[in-house]
Chain A
């Protein structure tokens, strides 16, 4: 079902709030993986605010949908999504990374409500998500499992072990989303280790790849709808994104995989996020 205008506006507003909260969290934390958090924010927003069946008051609800953030380093983006939903007190974000805080760079499922799997070592999340998906099958449950992968993460051989297995076991209750921001720590993905043709790789491993604009809610909704309707082959949504999306002086710059903001930079970043978010909201309003 295409998004209604109201839905899209709501998602735009939510993503705008979350991008700003992500920046604040990086400032509170001292530094953080802002680039990959912002490239994935629209994906996490649409999953948590449109598709996933969940109840933040009952994080252990047996038939809840599962989200595995395999690119575990984007805790500064993921934690705000959970906090804003009420999984934990948003005040905790102010202590992010502080000694003794439950919130560290890579979120720990044993410490943070709503986090389905502790991730951080790359290339793990798809296997864990596949286990969850097959667990639903064994138990006769209807939950769906969404796995968010980084594109650089797809260098890991274990990702492809899991891809092969997901297709072999016809795990169509599993949806893979690759945050294709085209950057990794040491440089552009195609310079460090070429991934293209990435869609062909997923196809060759038995997935139906769907390449979409990862910052366009209509496009993401169409792809997720198709993934949830898949019958024979699981879908891998390759979301074309921009690292650091929304902050003009970091967007697309691999050097902003991880960074910190002094008062001046933070003010400029916030201004930029405001301009970017308001432009998207205005567009959604049809202005």
Chain B
């Protein structure tokens, strides 16, 4: 992870997108093949920092996301490595046909860094919330999907995306994230979950803004309830870390997923698919946006409203700890 020299102090001062913009500038200096594109959101998404550093390698296409994604495909075809940025809601829906056909179908080396994801642009309302993109991007063949938990993980993800040939979708939040990592060398590896907290009673699998909250919930539950909750930061949704999910099921038998996304199709669904395929007994709960268009408000408030904050996670853990379920050894009656 050469070049990553961020400190705790940076983490307090820099928004998640600023980490992205700065990291892309560092990468741009190392790799002349990197080009940038934005659709009149260069400032908001911070890809504008790259544009200022490398104006000859940056294209602001105006408010025209479809053209931006198609152009990125053409630039990738020309042997360049495009990074493009707009809000997640536009990257995943407005220009999806282009993402599908121009980039994924041809397995092109283009990186989509989508900002203002989940409910992080809470006050903008559902036109700017994006609680469908993980489901959408996960269904695109060839696509890698990463949901970093904070600024430092975003920096790691943006670098990992360069090393990973092929299409990559990185979903980050608007504004500041709670600081989960105070240094970059915590062992980020694409497709490998990070264990934030060890535990044997239950596993919470989280991504994005929910990872820090899951860790806080686990710490609190240890103190108040004496519960040992394992917390996995599942930063890569595709390809998902099946081994970590299997270990969680075998070790704890109780699994909760938590994400700033519709409960349909995202992290929870990805984990459920793995769990169902394993055929191992478990009790399971998905936390997320309950298949609705969100109310308006501040991100933190909305996370509390939908139960994907510390309190919501703690309540779900307690509920699941009290739930009875059939363990492996009781399966004799099935014969």
Contact B64 A165 (CB under 8 A): yes
User: Interface residues of B toward A: which range?
Assistant: 20 to 34
Tell me how far the C-beta of B104 lies from the nearest C-beta in chain A, rounded to whole angstroms: 10
Q: Mark B73-114, 1 if CB is under 8 A from A, else 0.
A: 111111110100000000000000110111001110000000
The reply to whether the CB of A176 lies closer than 8 angstroms to some CB of chain B is no
Tell me whether A101 is interfacial, beta carbon within 8 Å.
no
Within the assembled complex, what's the spacing in Å between the Cα atoms of A36 and B59? 34
- By a CB distance below 8 angstroms, the chain A residues around B78 are 131-132, 134-136, 138-139, 141
Give A147-191 interface residues, CB cut-off 8 Å to B. Answer: 157-158, 161-162, 164-165, 168-169
Stretch at the interface among A75-83, A122-130, A248-256: A122-130
Which residues of chain A have C-beta atoms less than 8 A from B100's C-beta?
121
For the complex, give the distance between the alpha carbons of A115 and B260 in Å: 41
Q: Does B157 contact A (CB under 8 A)?
A: no
Kindly state whether residue B172 has any CB partner on chain A within 8 Å: no
B283 to chain A minimum Cβ distance, whole angstroms, is 43
Task: Give the Cβ gap from A177 to chain B, nearest Cβ, in Å.
Answer: 17
Binding site for B on A (CB under 8 A): 62, 66, 108-110, 116-121, 123-136, 138-139, 141, 145, 157-158, 161-162, 164-165, 168-169
Give A135 to B35 CA distance when docked, in angstroms: 9
Q: Determine whether the beta carbon of A131 is less than 8 Å from that of B73.
A: yes
Query: When the two chains form the complex, which single residue of A116, A118, A121, A131 contacts B71, counting CB atoms closer than 8 Å?
Result: A131
Is B105's CB under 8 angstroms from A124's CB? no
- The contact sample of 26 A-B pairs, CB cut-off 8 A, is A62-B79, A108-B105, A109-B106, A117-B74, A123-B66, A124-B98, A126-B70, A127-B98, A127-B102, A128-B70, A128-B74, A131-B75, A131-B78, A131-B82, A135-B35, A135-B74, A135-B75, A135-B79, A135-B80, A158-B98, A162-B71, A164-B62, A165-B61, A165-B62, A165-B67, A168-B62
- Report chain B residues within 8 Å CB of A109: 106
A158 to chain B: closest residue by CB: B66
Within the assembled complex, what's the spacing in Å between the Cα atoms of A240 and B228? 74
Chain B residues numbered 88-143 whose CB sits less than 8 Å from any CB in chain A: 97-98, 100-102, 105-107
Q: Tell me whether B206 is interfacial, beta carbon within 8 Å.
A: no
Please determine whether A138 and B61 come into contact, CB atoms closer than 8 angstroms: no
Contacts of A127 in B (CB 8 A): 66-71, 73-74, 98, 102
Minimal beta-carbon separation of B58 from chain A (angstroms): 10
Known interface pairs A109-B106, A110-B106, A162-B67. Does A128 touch B73 (Cβ–Cβ under 8 Å)? yes
Are the C-beta atoms of B57 and A138 separated by less than 8 Å?
yes
Q: Does B56 contact A (CB under 8 A)?
A: yes
Q: Are B79 and A124 in contact (CB under 8 A)?
A: no
- Report B276 CB to chain A, min CB distance, Å: 31
Which residues of chain B come closer than 8 Å to A145, judged between CB atoms? 74
A168 CA to B39 CA in the complex, in Å? 14
Bound-state CA distance A62–B78 (Å) is: 8
* A158-B77 in contact (CB<8A): no
Besides the known contacts A161-B67, A165-B71, 8 further A-B residue pairs in the complex with CB atoms under 8 A apart: A109-B106, A121-B97, A125-B70, A127-B69, A128-B70, A135-B79, A161-B64, A168-B62
Nearest to B110 among chain A residues (CB) is A131
* Cβ contacts under 8 Å, A110 to chain B: 105-107
With A118-B105, A118-B106, A127-B74 known to touch, is A134 a contact of B59 (CB < 8 Å)?
yes
Chain A CB count within 10 A is highest, among B59, B74, B97, for B74
Most B Cβ at <10 Å: residue of A110, A127, A157, A162 = A127
**Closest 10 CB pairs between A and B?**
A131-B74, A135-B78, A127-B70, A161-B64, A161-B67, A131-B71, A158-B66, A132-B74, A128-B74, A131-B75
The distance from the CB of A175 to the nearest CB of chain B, in whole angstroms, is 14
Interface presence of B72 (CB below 8 A): yes
* Closest CB in chain A relative to B36 CB, distance in Å: 11
Determine whether the beta carbon of B70 is less than 8 Å from that of A124: yes
Residues of chain A within 8 A (CB-CB) of B70 are: 124-128, 130-131, 158, 162
> From residue 157 to 189 of chain B, which have CB atoms closer than 8 A to chain A?
none
B35 nearest in chain A by CB position: A138
Q: Check A161–B66 contact: CB distance below 8 A.
A: yes
Report how far A132 CA is from B101 CA in the complex, Å: 16
